[in-house]
Chain A
Amino acid sequence: VANDHEVREHRDVNAQDPLTPVTGSAEVAGVIAPGHTFSSVTQKISSIVLTRPTPLGWWLGFGLAFFLTLLLFATLSYLVVKGVGIWGNNIPVAWAFDITNLVWWIGIGHAGTLISAILLLLKQTWRTSINRFAEAMTLFAVACAAIFPLFHTGRPWLAYWLFPYPNTMGVWPQFRSPLMWDVFAISTYATVSLLFWFIGLIPDLATLRDRSPSRVGRIMYGMLAMGWRGSAMHWHRYETAYLLLAGLATPLVVSVHTVISFDFSIGIVPGWHTTVFPPYFVAGAIYSGFAMVLTLAIPIRAVYGLEDFITMRHIQNMAKVMLVTGLIVAYGYGTEAFIAWYSADKYELFVPVNRSTGPYWWTYWMLILCNVLLPQILWFRRVRTNVFVLFVLSLVINVGMWLERFVIIVTSLHRDFLPSAWGMFQPTFWDWSTLIGTLGLFVALIFLFVRFLPMISIFEMRTILPAAKVGDDLGAT
């Protein structure tokens, strides 16, 4: 196979003279550290996968995550054998950790799509070094999320009945149900995210194929690269497809969590039946998503020495996004309480009172602390540039966003209309093992991802080199 990719690289290199790198213009300053060339970028990113020895920390981390993944599998197997009763759900709290986890994971996924699609369309070049693993994070988060709509059902082996397929029973799903809409929203989201991620990977897979020292690697990456040769036509089609997918993915950023929020806002449960939910859920999703990106990016860039690519500008920008979305979420909390009072409806009015003073009061105040109060420190540049503080804060926000969903779901359900039916939810060991198990699965997948795929887009990183800027100007017009 002719290595056109290498040819292109050489052509680029020849045109720009890699030996005398152009120091960055003001526009790209901070997105990539100065001093990098095309080959150094390629070398640095691909070496993590291809040549550098697997660090012991990777084995330990992956081992732990894999153990937790096994815990998840064990839990789910036990759940299928025994029934969803192994969780603490009851009547009235028929949804608890399961749907909390679903919404949380789906929300986390949103940052990836936002970074890759919307920021691409808005030509925010700083997205380049974080979009690949943000997308991977999206995909893995959706995979974790998808476990819950399936396994929270009483009879998971029949959950495929939620899909509209022609069947001998002559029965279609019930299209008025928001759960039905969820099926479309989540499956579309998963499909588009996967395609987007995979298509974005193809040029880099070809690079890995070409640089892989092992035969197995060449075959595997070769198959995944789908015959990419880097011809102009390939690039043209790639750009078109990528842009189209970005366009497709963009509404999904808004639509998926909007539909998820319909699960609640369509319901009549006080505390669910709220029109503010769609925007507030989307903002919350991006909020938690960026928190998760930071949670992952900060240790990874330290471990793999990627401070050159994931610079303080990225970190700062993400912190700013968190600050903004955090404020939107805080506004949402305020609106909920205000509308409850403004509606003068006794059931609605009871919700904020019960949340803040009822048996689950501490979850509400923890949520306010984690999502509203503590993130206010992001107003300070010194905080935004302190990766350790940001890492801790991102964890806090992740916890806060999980609590938010818990508060919405459980504290609304546990005391609804008839006081006689009021009840409490107590999580069981299996509730925790499912949650922790999905965390394990997520982390295990991330570990595999950083080990076997380029976690930063090589070719896109090269396009933001100052050298490429000149090349683009020459070639584009």
Chain B
Amino acid sequence: MSAPDGSPPVSKQRSRFWRTLDERIDDPAFQQWLHNEFPSQVEAIGDPVQRRTFLKLMGASMALAGLTACTRQPPEKIVPYVRQPEDLVPGKPLFFATAMTLGGIGTGLLVESHEGRPTKIEGNPLHPGSLGAADVFSQAAILGLYDPDRAKTLTYLGEIRPWSAFLGAINLALTAQQPLKGAGLRILTESISSPTLAGQIRHILQRYPAARWHRWDPASQDNAHAGARLAFGQYVDTQYRFDQADIIVALDADFLGSGPGCLRYARDFARRHQPQLAGRMNRLYALETMPSLTGAKADHRLALKPAAIAGVARQLAERLTSLNGAEGSNAQPRSDSKTPEPLSTEQRFIEGLVNDLRAHRGRGLIIAGDQQPAEVHALAHAMNEALGNVGATVVYTEPVEAEPVSQLESLRELVGEMNAGKVDLLLILAGNPVQTAPVDFDFAAAMGKVPLLAHLSLYEDETSALCHWQIPEAHFLEAWSDTRAFDGTASIVQPLIAPLYGGRSAHDVLGALSERPERSAYDLVREQWKVDPKDDGGWRQWLHDGVIPNTAVARKRVTPSAGVGVAARGPSSRPAATSPASASAAGFEIAFRLDPAVLDGRFANNGWLQELPKPITKLTWDNAILVSPATAARLSGAAYPAYRGGEHGTIVCDVFEIRSGGRTVRGPLFAVVGHPDDCATVHLGYGHRRGGNTARGLGFNAGAVRRSDALWSTSGELVKTGQTYALACTQYHHLMEGRALIHAATRAEYERDPASMHEEAGPEARPARTITLYPEYKYDGHKWGMAIDINACIGCNACVVACQSENNIPIVGKDQVLRGREMHWLRIDSYYAGPPEQPDTYFQPVPCMQCENAPCETVCPVGATVHSHEGLNDMVYNRCVGTRYCSNNCPYKVRRFNYYLYQDWETPSLKLARNPNVTVRSRGVMEKCTYCVQRINGAKIEAEKQGRTVQDGEIQTACQQTCPAEAIVFGDLNDQNSRVSRLQADARNYALLGELNTRPRTTYLGAVRNVNPELGR
């Protein structure tokens, strides 16, 4: 049978050879069979031309089949730049300097921008308040920028309105105010240091002389201002020179963890807290209620009930200021101490402290905390003056904040006028006073008496709900502004991106009150700084550097007024009953503090900050009633630790009711080692009913029992309710169980033998290098390593957020933290040593150790975690099948597993926040610290392009870069002169769990406590 296309029959082609008789005789039945057996192309195979056609067809159809198999591309138009922006190379990030203002104090930042979208926030090395470091709030602001819960539309009574409608409404109201000179106009802001914004407000107040500007900022330094006024009769700012201070006394002052200049102070402090400085190593005394970062770093810490701090401050002041009159009678207090009865712990502490300060006149430093009453601040000023510290370690300056006032009084006045019906138009520029104002002010009720309310805020919060106009605020990365650092140095706040949700800045809203509402914030800022439009050079330099040179506020020579000496000395004869707080010293006290993660609640919708384990407590997603273990045991009627559940993850606590001043609120009771007995600390910033899906419903609102007459501490009682509540805690076990995880020594021990701190670990902690079955790795090029100085680490969590931002680490939510599945690649462990009432706290940041003999590598069945030629334990995400064996075998438990699809793959705005150089991990894969391998490779490529090797310090891991205390050093161990090599050769260097012979690349430098020999351990 011939082929249908007329090609010659097969039999003709093969006439000479035959296989069967059927073929030989060319039986049609055989032909039929052959055709059936090898259909369609049987002829073509025999024919060279046909075969090629066939192959062509096959090739084409395969190619087409391949094409159809591809995913359908979304119909997105990709438009090339018509004009290529200058400096923009796709794939290469740009960095812009800007600044973030918190509590009226700006911190200089560098923001990484990928193709126009900011992705990471870092500190600005040129900024005096940052020096390259950044705190958790400024770093997490990147998530706040892209937060899908942000207020997105301008609304009037919940209905969307255009900006012009707002302008119209404001104009109408202002026209009515015109004849009254603005008597019904009130502006409520947070602390403002922006010269432009302050200028705008002043301008409005000129236009409407009867209008008033009120301020309320829970994160401000209201008490410090009041203290300065008490001491000097005027507002001054106090700056500290930690580089000059040998003896530091923190009177409930957490200068390492919060407040103006804390990043700068942490660096200066850590640089002077190095044991190799020998005699110059500083010594820190902390007197505080709630254990803080400062208290944890303190060489001596005294736990005091809130009301007792003022009393101790008075005693100290009495001893120290009396010295002025009796310089020579140094021995007098010594003779006191020879009284027969032994001194109490508190008395011994004060004795040692006083003697230490006296011995270091002019090199001591006494700091009062922002939450301490004005009196304590005044006492601190008096003591610094008496010890000759002023001018050396303490500097007074003009206030950085524009026109500081007593904010509590300012708010009180406003509420009074609102209630009196005197306020016709109230503009609330940022802040959430309904939630943060003292509860006795009943701000919400007062708002009901104001005819027109407008609220500018990032979120539609509790205040927004009660306002007529809700204006979505532009994030600081979206709008022009300016700000001042803790020392007054001004920075231009430049936007990185156009407002994502059409937000407006405070400048825009205030502009609406001016004659020319159309003027942009950019013009206003340039006008404020008198930029010559023709000569942009200076302006560009300011933007580039992130600071405006020589704008620090002037030093001020002030002396405590005579009254302060009396105030300091007068009441000290009997440390009781002058301040309202100390009246309740005998009873149960409750101290209010800003939350270390969400402050007054302004960051409550930020998942990074909510999931950040709070320092000391390691709680996430909640606040709690924090008490000492003994008090917890007494109140709960159960032995400490009174928890049910795990050490990590779920901690089931008893719910207690706080009763204070006739008001109540319920919260879970959580025991904190180092907290004084018979008092509790509660953190503000929780219990939101609005303000974003993340914020809503978390924790309890401690502000519900916070009154204006007792803003920071009050008397009250705790009543057991019988309910329980599960707290999500990432570390509950803080005891080392006799394991030498932290190597520590006192300064005396260290000076005797620097290696003495390793004695507890014993010789087995440094096993012989030969104990392994596998051959040694050879490193011809680089050999990366890290050294973490436990002595420097202040436990501030900045590195954790930096890591989260740099490496696209997802948050998992409270229910997953309860299950012990948080994803942080870098965690900060804290351990206690010493007696439980007076514990020594040590922080230990734990990233992946990148072990030389890595237990994880040998057990992965698919080779998804492998040793790189530069010594890293690389994680190959797309090879990982998720057996989790590596995590089981990791003695440091630094591996994190995507039990669910934790990363948000849906929300468009969150996708913009990601670092494009780091894989976004999917469900079912293991992940862990990579030493920021993307940064390593970026630097190597750059070096190779320039034909050189990578220099020491050129690569900074994200955690290292942001560390205010410079505790983390990364570099090449093959380079004997690199900083990390030198640190690993230091006598303090040790490997965590070194006895396992994992030979970690990340090593630790032991801690040294500068113990006062007089006080001892």
Residue positions of A touching B, CB distance < 8 A: 82-85, 88-95, 152-156, 158-159, 161-162, 171-174, 176-180, 183, 263, 266-269, 346-347, 350, 359, 413, 416-424, 426
Contact = CB atoms under 8 A, between A and B. Distances in A.
Given A153-B881, A422-B647, A171 B863 contact: yes
B459 interface: no
Contacts of B648: 92, 421-424
Contacts of B734: 419-420
A153 B885 contact: no
A83 B901 contact: yes
A347 B765 CA distance: 13
Given A155-B881, A421-B892, A91 B821 contact: yes
B923 A178 contact: no
Contact of B889 (A83, A172, A267, A419): A267
A418 B734 CA distance: 10
Given A268-B855, A268-B891, A417-B739, A91 B896 contact: yes
Nearest to A272: B888
A24 to B, nearest CB: 53
12 contacts: A85-B821, A89-B884, A90-B821, A94-B888, A154-B897, A154-B924, A173-B863, A174-B863, A269-B888, A269-B889, A423-B820, A426-B819
A161 B862 contact: yes
A423 B862 contact: no
A240 to B, nearest CB: 37
Contacts of A422: 646-648, 733
B900 interface: yes
A162 B925 contact: no
B746 interface: no
Given A91-B896, A153-B882, A158-B881, A419 B650 contact: no
Interface string B892-924: 110111111100000000000000000000011
B892 A154 contact: no
B771 to A, nearest CB: 13
5 A-B pairs closest in CB distance: A154-B882, A154-B924, A424-B646, A85-B899, A423-B648
Given A180-B861, A418-B993, A423-B820, A94 B846 contact: no
A162 B829 contact: no
Nearest to A178: B859
B880 interface: yes
Contact of B858 (A88, A161, A176): A176
B739 A346 contact: yes
Given A153-B882, A155-B882, A266 B646 contact: no
Contacts of A85: 816, 819, 821, 899-900
B676 interface: no
A84 B885 contact: no
Contacts of B649: 90, 423-424
A207 B401 CA distance: 99
Contacts of A83: 898-901, 923-924
A162 B864 CA distance: 11
Contacts of A94: 884-885, 887-888, 897
Contact of A350 (B737, B819, B844, B891): B737
B893 A92 contact: yes
A84 B645 contact: no
A267 B887 CA distance: 11
Interface in B331-369: none
B984 interface: no
B521 to A, nearest CB: 46
Interface string B635-652: 000000000011111100
Contact of B650 (A154, A269, A426): A426
Contacts of A413: 888
A462 to B, nearest CB: 47
A273 to B, nearest CB: 10
A423 B733 CA distance: 9
B739 A177 contact: no
| Interface size range of chain B in the complex | 35 or more
Given A177-B885, A423-B820, 17 more contacts: A153-B881, A155-B882, A174-B858, A177-B858, A177-B860, A178-B859, A267-B889, A269-B888, A350-B737, A359-B646, A417-B893, A418-B993, A419-B647, A421-B648, A421-B829, A422-B733, A424-B647
A198 to B, nearest CB: 29
B900 A152 contact: no
A179 B859 CA distance: 7
Contacts of A84: 882, 899, 924
B819 A90 contact: yes
Contacts of A171: 862-863, 879
Interface of B: 645-650, 731, 733-739, 741, 816, 819-821, 827, 829-831, 844, 846, 855, 858-863, 879-885, 887-889, 891-893, 895-901, 923-926, 992-993, 996
A177 B888 contact: no
Nearest to B739: A346
A263 B860 CA distance: 11
B736 A154 contact: no
Contacts of B881: 153-156, 158-159, 161-162
B892 A418 contact: yes
B826 to A, nearest CB: 13
Which one of B831, B881, B895 has the highest number of Cβ atoms from chain A below 10 Å of its Cβ?
A: B881
A300 to B, nearest CB: 37
A101 B387 CA distance: 71
Q: Per DSSP, are chain A's interface residues mostly helix, strand or loop, or mixed?
A: loop
Given A162-B861, A173-B863, A424-B645, A82 B821 contact: no
Nearest to B646: A424
B650 A424 contact: yes
A267 B892 contact: no
Contacts of B923: 83, 154-155
A4 to B, nearest CB: 37
A419 B898 CA distance: 23
Contact of A424 (B820, B861, B899, B926): B820
Contacts of A350: 737
A155 B855 CA distance: 22
Nearest to A413: B888
Nearest to B648: A423
Nearest to B822: A91
A418 B889 contact: no
A205 B893 CA distance: 54
Contacts of B739: 346-347, 417, 419
A158 B862 CA distance: 10
Contacts of B883: 152-154, 179
A306 B411 CA distance: 91
A177 B891 contact: no
Contacts of A153: 881-883, 924
A83 B846 CA distance: 27
A85 B647 CA distance: 20
A268 B735 contact: no
A116 to B, nearest CB: 30
Given A85-B899, A161-B881, A421 B893 contact: yes
A420 B861 contact: no
A317 to B, nearest CB: 39
A84 B859 CA distance: 20
A418 B899 contact: no
B862 A174 contact: yes
Nearest to B740: A346
B737 A172 contact: no
Contacts of B863: 171-174
B895 to A, nearest CB: 7
A438 to B, nearest CB: 19
Given A154-B880, A418-B993, A419-B739, A95 B899 contact: no
Contacts of B844: 420
Contacts of B891: 268-269, 416-418
Contacts of B880: 154-155
B860 A419 contact: no
B859 A419 contact: no
A358 B992 CA distance: 25
Nearest to B816: A85
